[in-house]
Amino acid sequence: MNMKQRLKILHLEDLPTDVELVDRELKKSGMQYESVVVSNEQDFSRELLRFSPDIVLSDHSLPTFNSFGALKILREQQIKIPFILITSTTSEEVSVQVMKEGAWDYILKDRMQRLPSAIEQAIDKYNVRQAKKKTESDLEAAHHKLLFHFENSPLGFVEWDNHFNVKHWSPRAEEIFGWTTQEYQDLQIQGFNAVYEDDYPIAVQKALELTSGGVSSNHFLNRANTKSGKVIWCEWFNSVQKNSDGEVMTIMSLVSDVTEKKHAEEKLAANEKRFRSLIENISDAIVVSDADSNILYQSPSVERILGYSEEERLNKSLKSFIHPDYSKQYAELFQSVLKNAGQPHPFEFPFLHKKGSYVWLEGITTNLLNDLSVNGVIANYRDVTQRKMLNKILQEYNDRHEIVSRATNDAIWDWDIENDFEIWNHGTQTIFGYNEREVGSSRNWWKEKLHPMDYERVNQELEESFKRKTENWISQYQYLCANGNYKYVLDRAFILYREDKPVRMIGAMQDITEQVVAAQELRSLNERYEIVLDTTGDAIWDWDLLSNEITWGEGLFKLFGYQAKAAIRSSFWFDKIHNDDRKRVEQLILEVVSNSRQFKWEDEYQFRKSDGTYSFVHNRGKIVRNKEGKATRMVGSIQDITERKLALEEIEKLSLVASKTDNIVIITDAEKRIEWVNESFVKRTGYTSKEAIGLTPRILQGPETDPYIVSRIQKHLEAGQPVIEEILNYSKNGSKYWLRLNINPVFNNKGELTKFIAVETDITHQKEYEANIVAIARELTELIEHANVPIFGVDRNGYINEWNKTTAAISEYNKNEALGKKWINFIDPTVHKKASQIIENAFAGKQSVNFELPFVSKSGKQFILVISISTRRDRNKNIIGALCVGQDLTEVIQYRQGLENLVQERTLELNQALKKEKELVELKSKFVSTASHEFRTPLSTISLATGFIRRYKQQIVPEEIDKKLDNIEKQVNQMVYLLDDVLLVGKAEAGKILVNRSEIEIETFKTLAAEVIESKRTKHRLHFSNECTVSSIMTDEKLVRNIIINLITNAVKFSPEAGKIEMNISCDLHELILTIKDQGIGIPEKDLKNLFTSFSRGSNVGTIEGTGLGLSIVKKAVDLLNGTIELKSILGKGTEFKVTLPLEYA
């Protein structure tokens, strides 16, 4: 009330003079006022409401009314305005009584001058009182409002005094901690609820902050013990309330149970930790960089490989660590990586080591910039420097092998004995005419080509070598050429043994046809010579020196064609001697005959035959002397040695040929004494022909000559067999040289051994490169075989010709199974095209490195090899195949995939946990929002109704006020129901509801349903039917009531077009079946899943209000009673719920 306004005075007085008196007095004081004067009860009551006075001035007694009556009305109407009694009665008793009844003051009519000040005082007092009241009620209202919100908040609300003693906490706080306010107060614990020991310091610190007035609000997290002994995580939001003096009065806290969230966070942290430790404990190096290739993270293995620690490389560009020659390639790769997010890119680059050297790293890099868990470009790699080196060495060996094998015309073969797989060099084509396609890969292919005469022998020799474990094998045989002819072959081989078993044999077949043919011819000539020598009949003669007549034997005719039956003069003989020889012959005979000591004569000359041609003859004679020593006769024989002479000339000629081709030719007698040597012999050995003749070839042998070979030669020669051997010989000056011997025995017509002819070739040079190739091949073999990476070879036609141990182990195919098969058959069929392309590229001469190819093992498992292919070339530089060096990536890839899966799994788990948490938070916040909406509507009604009473109380009749009050009460009840629902759900979820059975009449359910429908004030009609065989059942009344109230309420709410609601109860001794059917909007199928979940509401509810708690309550009640609930619903047609409850009887 404002004093500046005109004061409204209701004056109860029946005497106009007294009215006049008051008026005069008030006007005199200058008071601004208006007044209404009444004199009876009826007028008083009316004006009290209509005029709404600020003050009542009242006479004590009036004809029909008095001041007691007036005060009573004010009291009843709860109108608390000042009431001043104006009376002439001096009776103190009356005055006291009136004051007792509620008058504020009294004025005696004869002391009226006090009136204005009395009014002023009363009004002041009234104003103060009103203001105080208003403040109190405002405060109370605010407090109630606050409490209301807190009490119904999903957060717990706790109010503390300034010593942190609990003053009050909300039901939710009770749910969180388990203690009621009273229980907690009894515990006499100060501070944040039963703080977990470890978190005590933070709780104390936070509490002190607040009570000291340092901060007006704070927030923190701690663990707390609940009444049931559980440890939960609490999140506190605290604020301080201060009084006007700034002293801390109370502390208000909101608390929520964040245990689940905290656990989700912990799980996340643990997963991250696990992920990180996984990364850090693997041998693969991992580097994460940003989009500018700056290093963000590197795993500990990087330091091991590159020498740099994480700090040393952090934020530096990866580019600066790449070998400068590869920087462009790297830049291209990185561009591609950035462009193709998520796609792994293999790479292989030399990286800078801290020591300044470069390390070959091979790996995979992937753009995971968009992946929140990585947010970078990730690269994992491993040190492949060793593999790289091995590859290089292999290539070198391979090249050397090829070069050496190209340097010879021999057919080089390499036989893998264990797996019976043989490869041939170009020689098989150049010597024997077999092309690549015709060459077989088994030893049998070679065996089939052996001459039938040699087949058994050669195989025996081979077997024997294996048995004796000799490293060298040598054999001569005839070998079938592609054109059907046989060639003489000298096959020398080196045998590799492993654990005493022959595993590999590398040999060289040399075409020695020319030599053999030459040697054979020599032998046959010699044999002819011997035969001539032995079989030709001699021409016997008997020369009478005294008569100078010669008597000839039969041979003269046989050999020369002359008939000489009687003695003929010696001139007949001399006449036939060639003029070139005659003089010499005659002179020699004269000398021999005239020398009395000579008894023998011998000479060779040309003798003319009867046909005029000349023959070479050997003439020998024996001289007969008389006592005086005079020659009287000479007896002898003439041999025709023409053919022998010719044969010898032929030998000379052949020797000449042999010497030109560097072949050494030696002819010995049966005792192996040298009879003849050629020029090559002289050149090579340093012995002259004269020096050599008469010696044995043993003089050529020296300390390093293999005695075993010597004895072998000896053995063969003694048996009269031909020999081919290789042997180390020494020249006269001591230099060593290798010879290949081809010795043939020569027999006469009686089968007696007479001579040996040896044709020998200097093979020192060949021997050297053979030793070389064997060494290389041996090393290569071992290298390939024992390499700890898979290596396999492919020929030009795609057939496998190498297959090392590691490949066999990985693929599960042993060498035997793989060799000679198409390589593509080992590749995963889905990438055949790519694989063929790669090998074709290699054959086209393009370098092929680092192809990731999936292979399929024998058992059908896939394994991934990263292969690098180097080509193999023949001497014409034609590509003849490829050598593939691989690295088994299966583990790396599986590991990588495992890692990816793990990350995915973790991310998924995490997302699920977060999603669940988010859903929960969303549901709760949705609940808060809907619940608050639900509360606001009745609150609006209350607010308006109270406002109405206050504002119009003077204009309205009491009945109207009653109506308003009823209205308010109804709203309050509605809010109480809602609150009950919320609490019920909370309790049910916490398992705090106990089933309490009692006997209930079936009909009470009908009454209940009818009441619910009635309360909704809609036009729904209830059709109730009772098919029970009993009239009452034992059950929990509260729970069943909840079921019915909620189902009926839903039926009404969700059938806005009203209509029929059918309720049927049937029951026997065992169960109760309750169906409630409406004609409403129905429930969409997609919502059925979450239908009974708290806070969830159908998607078609539109603006129909609700909290999403009803069916949740129903379900919980049904569950508590061990029952079931089913529903049938047709969208737009209606829904029918069927509840089945088992009944129990004690």
Partner 1 sequence: MPKQILIVEDTADLRHNIVEVLSMEGFTVSDSANGEEALVLLETINPDLIITDLLMPKMNGFDLIQNIRQNIQWKNIPILVFSATPPIENEKRVLELGANSYLKKPSTLEALVDVVNKLIEHE
Nearer to partner 1, 355 or 1017 (CB): 1017
d(CA 727, CA 763): 9
* Cβ 1054 to partner 1 shortest distance, Å: 10
How far is CA 469 from each of CA 419, 461, 525, 785, rounded to the nearest angstrom?
19, 12, 40, 21
d(CA 163, CA 157): 17
Residue 656 is inside which H or E element, if any? helix 642-660
User: Could you tell me where the beta strands, DSSP code E, fall in 944-1054?
Assistant: 998-1001, 1021-1026, 1032-1035
Burial, 997: exposed, middle or buried (Cβ in 10 Å; 0-12, 13-18, 19+)? middle
Burial, 716: exposed, middle or buried (Cβ in 10 Å; 0-12, 13-18, 19+)? middle
By DSSP bridging, strand 55-59 and strand 7-12 are: parallel
d(CA 935, CA 597): 168
Say which residues have a Cβ less than 8 Å from residue 628's Cβ, sequence separation at least 6: none
d(CA 959, CA 951): 16
* Cβ 952 to partner 1 shortest distance, Å: 5
The closest of 1051, 455, 409 to 765, measured between CA atoms, is: 409
42: number of CA atoms within 13 Å, CB side? 1
d(CA 455, CA 448): 8
How far is CA 902 from each of CA 365, 787, 832, 896, rounded to the nearest angstrom?
18, 33, 31, 10
Amino acid letter for position 142: A
d(CA 255, CA 158): 8
> How far does CA 691 lie from the centroid of its chain?
82
By DSSP bridging, strand 568-569 and strand 549-552 are: antiparallel
d(CA 749, CA 535): 9
The DSSP secondary structure of 5-21, one letter per residue, reads SPEEEEEE-S-HHHHHH
Residues that bind partner 1 (CB under 8 A): 929, 932-933, 936-948, 950-952, 955-956, 967, 970-971, 1017, 1056, 1102-1105
What does the H/E/C string look like for 803-854? ECHHHHHHHCCCHHHHCCCEHHHHECHHHHHHHHHHHHHHHCCCCEEEEEEE
Nearer to partner 1, 750 or 1017 (CB): 1017
Nearer to partner 1, 138 or 575 (CB): 138
Residue given tokens 């788990």 in the structure block: 909
Phi-psi domain of 707 (left: phi exceeds 0; alpha: psi -120 through 50; beta: other): alpha
What does the H/E/C string look like for 1059-1097? CEEEEEEEECCCEEEEEEECCCCCCCHHHHHHCCCCCCC
Say which residues have a Cβ less than 8 Å from residue 47's Cβ, sequence separation at least 6: 10, 36, 38, 53
d(CA 459, CA 444): 11
Cα-trace Rg, the chain: 66
The closest of 560, 555, 458 to 509, measured between CA atoms, is: 458
User: Could you tell me where the beta strands, DSSP code E, fall in 323-448?
Assistant: 345-352, 358-368, 376-383, 411-416, 421-424
Q: How many residues does the chain have?
A: 1146
> How far does CA 873 lie from the centroid of its chain?
38
d(CA 76, CA 64): 19
How far is CA 1026 from each of CA 1000, 1002, 1017, 1023, 1062, rounded to the nearest angstrom?
14, 8, 24, 10, 11
